[in-house]
Amino acid sequence: MLPERSDLLLRNAHILSLEADVPEGRGDVLIRDGVLAAIGQGLTAPAGVEVIDATGHIAMPGFIDTHWHLWNSLLRGTVGDAPGRDYFSVKRGIAPHFDLDDFYWSARFALAEAVQNGITTVHNWDHNVRDAGDVDANLQAQIDSGLRGRFSYGPRDSSAATEMMDFEGLDAARARWSAARLDHRIHFGVALRGPYRTSTDLSQREWRGARERGMPITMHCDRCLRENGCTSCGLTRLDREGLLGPDVQVVHAIHASPADVEAVARTGTKISVSPLSEMRTMGFPQVTEFLEAGALTSLSVDTLAMPANADVLSTLRALLSAEHARSGRATLTPRIALEMATIRAARDLGIEDLTGSLLPGKRADLLLLDASHSSLLPSGDLVESLIYNGTSSAIRTAICDGRVLMRSGALVQDSARHAISSANERRDALVRRARDAGTWTDN
């Protein structure tokens, strides 16, 4: 069951707002009806408001993930290094055997891990939409989790390059799921394949269909993810064909050439990087180049099926170290890295008026971290301590839209805990069905 919104006064926290108008320092945070009602010192608790002593804790915005394939999270532990256990072999062999419960609980498992790691907004990048039931299962999981986010309606896994995007299904889903039914927390987008995975004509038709509906677009830049010596993502072609723009997010632009980077920045196209999966199988994210060009760049998990997890602070630390070693420049600072997982990510998803920072009037999506946690001691610059040393275990409380989803380090929802405790059983059943059907084997 989804927790009720709580009216809260967080007393005497160290506030890290990421807003110039709310300076860092000691203060109180008042939450009323899911909104950050006031931030300041010596706030009075109105009648009926629960007061939480946040002394010794850091109050900061919840993290935002901008690209996450929730549907295949139950493949974690099956994907590995042995022959036949690579990500694509496992995904293609097992994906046809997902039933509606699998879609729902796979997403709930990932979203529970998100809460444990302080992520309060998730962009659900669904590239295995088979029918209306799949969509409903994913959206219901997002709603039941209590998190904010986007659902990007995509193609069926391994769909033919000649197969048109199912815009009728998208329209039907949007008709079924009103803003009120989505609790005003989830909005729709569309995941398109692009001209390197379909014909030019088909990609133009799909882009036109998305833009006619006012849908934000996301696409994988996977023209040559696994080719040696690749020197371009081919984004200049998308620029020439009018496909780039501020309504477009590009994921995995690992091999972007200087011309690609310039096209992205000039057109206002957004970039989402997935450091752990990209460095594992694709190459090094070119964050420095995109930042120096002025392109909006944000952070994502990608998938739990790969060697990755939802620990944002550890992921940012790995990205920062790798980026400095790769580029030899310190363009990516700890503060920019933190912004990539908060306010810059909110701008990527077009929800910066709702979340991404602590500012009165925004929705109450925030975390409390234990400032006395060993990973944050001895203390120095707070942002540097978080990025260079912090771990998710320092996160004690997670609040989204005024609902407390984690308290004292424990998940509040029984259903979230069940999603975790049942993960092995559900994954094993999926694997058995795929083996029995002969679509996948690790022997």
Instruction: Give the pLDDT confidence of 250-301 residue by residue, as tens digits.
Output: 999 999 999 999 999 999 999 999 999 999 888 899 999 999 999 999 999 9
Q: Nearest to residue 128, comparing CAs of 92, 79, 77, 173? A: 92
Q: What is the rounded CA–CA span in Å between residue 169 and residue 132? A: 7
What per-residue confidence (pLDDT) applies to 268? 98
Q: Considering the chain, what is the average pLDDT of its residues?
A: 94
Take residue 18 and report the two structure tokens written for it: 């990421």
Q: How confident is the model at residue 222 (pLDDT cuts 50, 70, 90)?
A: confident
Q: What is the rounded CA–CA span in Å between residue 120 and residue 357? A: 12
What is the mean predicted confidence (pLDDT) over 180-203?
Answer: 94
What number of H helices and E strands is found in the chain?
15, 17
Say how many CA atoms lie within 13 Å of 26 toward its Cβ: 5
Take residue 50 and report the two structure tokens written for it: 């629960």
Q: Is 53 helix (H, G, I), strand (E, B) or coil?
A: strand
Partners of 250 in beta bridges: 219, 271
Q: What residue ranges in 83-234 does DSSP mark as E strands?
A: 119-126, 148-153, 186-192, 217-220
Q: What is the rounded CA–CA span in Å between residue 82 and residue 60? A: 41
Residues 6+ apart with CB under 8 A from 59: 10, 13, 14, 15, 16, 29, 358, 366, 367, 368
Q: Nearest to residue 400, comparing CAs of 143, 186, 120, 140? A: 120
pLDDT tens, residue by residue, 327-364? 999 999 999 999 999 999 999 999 999 999 999 999 99
* Alpha-carbon Rg for the chain in angstroms: 21
Whether residue 309 contacts residue 113, with contact meaning beta carbons closer than 8 Å, is answered with yes
Query: In sequence order, which ranges of 72-166 are alpha helices (DSSP H)?
Result: 87-94, 100-116, 132-145
pLDDT tens, residue by residue, 71-112? 999 999 998 888 888 888 888 889 888 999 999 999 999 999
Flag whether the pTM goes above 0.85: yes
Q: What is the rounded CA–CA span in Å between residue 384 and residue 388? A: 6
Domains (range + CATH), the chain? 8-61+361-417 (2.30.40.10)
Q: Is the pLDDT of residue 381 over 80?
A: yes
Take residue 196 and report the two structure tokens written for it: 């390197």
